[in-house]
Structure 1
Amino acid sequence: MTAAGLPMAVPAQGLPPRVRIHEVGARDGLQNEKGVVPTEIKAEFVHRLADAGLATIEATSFVHPKWVPQLADAEQLFPLLGDLQGVHLPVLVPNERGLDRALALGAHRVAVFASATESFAKANLNRTVDEALAMFDPVVSRARESELHVRGYLSMCFGDPWEGPVPVAQVVRVCRALLDMGCDELSLGDTIGVATPGHVQSLLAELNEEGVPTDRIGVHFHDTYGQALANTLAALQHGVTTVDASAGGLGGCPYAKSATGNLATEDLVWMLQGLGIDTGVDLGRLSATSAWMADQLGRPSPSRTVRALTHQEQ
């Protein structure tokens, strides 16, 4: 380790020179908190993440407050982020009403949240997979008409707590439907963290075979079985350059109880910097931000890198 608390950079063959981190802590992370985080703290969290160099920070969700009360302050939060320059602030929109709310506040990037499995579509959206896609179709169409960038999240891409392993062809079908609908990019979610590297590369290869280009794909891994970084590396070896992560490892999934925390952004940045891959992120500032947020939440950060760097500073 270097004196500055960073890994020694030793590039590996066949990896991209730069990776875009899609930071989800302020939305995917905080929506799983038992208590409601004050709006001002959320706003400061996003500002600190931006100051650490993250250029894509998912800000909030325009889901009905009944379903996600932790993000009921979306209308109050989003205007507090208007001073951020050069930072993309995507928001989740579950339906046309959510899109209306996002448009009213001037959002430029939105995301819809689909499922690869019937069981999770029912639990999360109270619809079948095809019914959910039909619901998203006008949302994506209207968003594109308004010149918004649209991301399509796809959960349960590798395993489902009710259905078990998910067939690759099943995932590919829904991915293809989201792209045909007009989504600009996809985020492949390992919602319960059961993926392994071979499975990741198999799915990516099959997506390519079915006409889904790698540059339209992002990956979103959970660390339930300690596989998130290994799976990320497998995706990078395939050419993926967009990786979702959550500052401090915050988050899970409120509708899948076996889902534990997201891949910690600090752990991801540590690996990428060690591989000589550019992210634009200042690991020291990011780690300090996550330690600060952990203090706000009243518990230690789950991120191993945050704990290690914080311990070194004491």
Structure 2
Amino acid sequence: MSDRVEIFEVGPRDGLQNEPEPIPVEAKVALVDLLSRAGFRRIEAASFVSPKWVPQMASSGEVMARIARAPGVSYAALTPNLKGFEAAMAAGVDEVAIFASASEGFSRANLNCSIAESLERFAPVAEAARARDVPVRGYVSCVVECPFDGAVPPEQTAHVAAALRALGVYEVSLGDTIGQGTPEAVDAMLASVLDEVPANALAGHFHDTSGRALENVDVALARGLRVFDAAVGGLGGCPYAPGARGNVATEKVAAHVEALGHDTGLDRAVLSEAAALARTMREGRQ
């Protein structure tokens, strides 16, 4: 496998959506612009969901209009339905993401529908994206543990990952949404998923609630994964997952995998500056 590890930066969306109050547009733009200078290939910058449900993302269109786009960077957005997809296209988003759950309990809490119903809802988004040649990424939540259902069978996660691939997503991000996954559980889940989806079409998305995120990164590396989602400054959590803390910090993942001999292509000085800004935003001083 290549020594290159890519970190997909999700702080501006997955991180900031969990803040108690919406972050000012100026601060969001400043964060994305800093991250654009750090060497990321992909940055999740926005979410076009109903502001009724996620008011923290209501300014996504304005954020996309004001960021300084860096050459070679793909700016991504979450789009749960056709309305969100069309808004993302109007805002000039480069790629979109759809999201399903590996557990029925979380699907009901987050999407107000079953897993099967959620996949049916995403089909028109995937079709519209395909018609416009827009890349679609897929997220799977609660891949090992669910706050409502408990342990999630590995084959259930594999089934959802395969269903997303069938819809045409180019990459499936596997999320330990509440950060309770042990390395053993993550390894068992990956073994099952890899029967359905190749390692080069998978990403790890680990929250650090229990302090095991880097151990789970190691497990995923051993299984051949080379893409990991992370949020600068450890931003995030999940509004629909009680007790979930932030995503693993980008700067921690970068330092960890580089110490193992992998190249991330990131400017650690710029990343440190972005992490400081993210922490300031999280602490409410921005």
- TM-score normalised over the length of structure 1: 0.88
Aligned equivalent of 1:275: 260
Tell me which of 124, 130, 133 is aligned to 1:138. Answer: 124
**2-structure distance, mates of 1:289, 1:174:** 34
**1-structure distance, mates of 2:221, 2:132:** 32
* Alignment pair present for 1:163 and 2:149: yes
Q: Please state how far the C-alpha of 1:141 moved relative to its aligned partner.
A: 1.2
Q: Deviations over 1:146-201 (max 9, x none)?
A: 10111110001000111110001111111111111111110000001111222222
* Alignment pair present for 1:233 and 2:218: yes
Contact (CA 8 Å) 1:117, 1:160: kept in 2 or not? yes
Tell me which of 72, 86, 103 is aligned to 2:58. Answer: 72
Contact (CA 8 Å) 1:188, 1:220: kept in 2 or not? yes
**1-structure distance, mates of 2:100, 2:84:** 15
Aligned equivalent of 1:128: 114
* Alignment pair present for 1:112 and 2:94: no
Aligned equivalent of 1:203: 189
SS at match of 1:90: strand
Aligned equivalent of 1:248: 233
SS at match of 2:96: strand
Unaligned stretches of 5+ residues in structure 1: 1-14, 301-314
Q: Residue 146 of structure 1 aligns to which amino acid in structure 2?
A: R
**2-structure distance, mates of 1:90, 1:251:** 17
> 1:291-310 alignment to 2 at 5 Å?
291-298=276-283
Q: Please state how far the C-alpha of 1:81 moved relative to its aligned partner.
A: 2.3
* Alignment pair present for 1:260 and 2:245: yes
Tell me which of 42, 49, 54 is aligned to 1:63. Answer: 49
**1-structure distance, mates of 2:188, 2:200:** 16
Q: Which has the larger radius of gyration?
A: 1
SS at match of 2:86: helix
Aligned equivalent of 1:5: none
**2-structure distance, mates of 1:48, 1:82:** 9
* Alignment pair present for 1:87 and 2:76: no
SS at match of 1:142: helix
SS at match of 1:58: strand
Contact (CA 8 Å) 2:37, 2:70: kept in 1 or not? no
Aligned equivalent of 1:310: none
**What fraction of aligned residue pairs are identical, expressed as a percent?**
45
Tell me which of 253, 273, 284 is aligned to 1:288. Answer: 273
**2-structure distance, mates of 1:29, 1:130:** 27
The 10-residue stretch of structure 1 (49-58 or 225-234) with the greater mean CA deviation from structure 2: 49-58
SS at match of 2:74: coil
**1-structure distance, mates of 2:282, 2:113:** 34
**1-structure distance, mates of 2:194, 2:72:** 31
* Alignment pair present for 1:43 and 2:29: yes
Q: Please state how far the C-alpha of 1:33 moved relative to its aligned partner.
A: 0.6
Aligned equivalent of 1:21: 7
SS at match of 1:278: coil
**2-structure distance, mates of 1:177, 1:296:** 37
Contact (CA 8 Å) 2:232, 2:278: kept in 1 or not? no
SS at match of 1:84: coil
**2-structure distance, mates of 1:138, 1:292:** 37
What is the CA RMSD across the aligned residues, in angstroms?
1.4
Q: Please state how far the C-alpha of 1:82 moved relative to its aligned partner.
A: 5.2
The 10-residue stretch of structure 1 (231-240 or 276-285) with the greater mean CA deviation from structure 2: 276-285
Unaligned stretches of 5+ residues in structure 2: none
Q: Residue 208 of structure 2 aligns to which amino acid in structure 1?
A: D
Tell me which of 112, 125, 133 is aligned to 1:147. Answer: 133
**2-structure distance, mates of 1:209, 1:115:** 19
Q: Please state how far the C-alpha of 1:208 moved relative to its aligned partner.
A: 2.3
**2-structure distance, mates of 1:209, 1:55:** 28
Q: Deviations over 1:80-135 (max 9, x none)?
A: 12532211111000111100111122222000011111111111111111111100
